[in-house]
Amino acid sequence: MSETRELTFDDEVLAQLKPLLIDGNQLLLSYDDGVGPYSHHGLVALQVSFQWVIVGKDANIDDYQAVIPSNIGPVRYKDYSGRFLGSQLHATFNHLMHAIKLSDEGEQIDDNVEIVVDKSASQPG
């Protein structure tokens, strides 16, 4: 029943995320629906909104049961948010907007996926 997914980050997005993924920090693709400790909005009407959330190795990730393999390592997400995600996901940096775009097979999912570092995450340098 579960669809096989794969996520590819372009070089510019990798350059932003890699320095944050230290000391066992984990990367979440968090559907911003107000559910769980890393989602705060939930009131974005008729708009799909995601965030890249960096959490510590011992952080509570109980709401993030599903995993997408990627070229930076496993990315956890809320299994029910998979209805918004296809099988060939791409995270690319949009130079014009200075934002990270999440798309699938040419279809835009979210044009501004921000990076959020949780207080549980180890900080670089």
Q: Predicted confidence band at 25 (pLDDT cuts at 50, 70, 90)?
A: very high
Structure tokens at 90: 């791409």
Triad 99, 21, 43: Cα angle to 5°? 45
Q: Indicate if the pLDDT at residue 49 is higher than 60.
A: yes
Q: What is the pLDDT of residue 111?
A: 93
* Other Cβ atoms within 10 Å of 123 Cβ, number: 12
Q: What is the pLDDT of residue 45?
A: 46
| CATH no. of 6-117 | 2.60.300.12
Q: What is the pLDDT of residue 1?
A: 40
Q: What is the pLDDT of residue 32?
A: 76
Q: Indicate if the pLDDT at residue 52 is higher than 60.
A: yes
Q: What is the pLDDT of residue 51?
A: 94
Secondary structure class of 65 (helix, strand, coil): coil
Q: Where are the alpha helices (DSSP H) in the chain?
A: 11-17
Q: Indicate if the pLDDT at residue 59 is higher than 70.
A: yes
Asked if 120 and 36 count as a contact pair (C-beta separation under 8 A), the reply is no
Report DSSP letters for 82-112, one per residue: GGG--SEEEEEEETTTTEEEEEETTEEEES-
Side chain identity at residue 44, one-letter code: V
Range with the poorest average pLDDT among 22-26, 46-50, 104-108, 115-119: 46-50
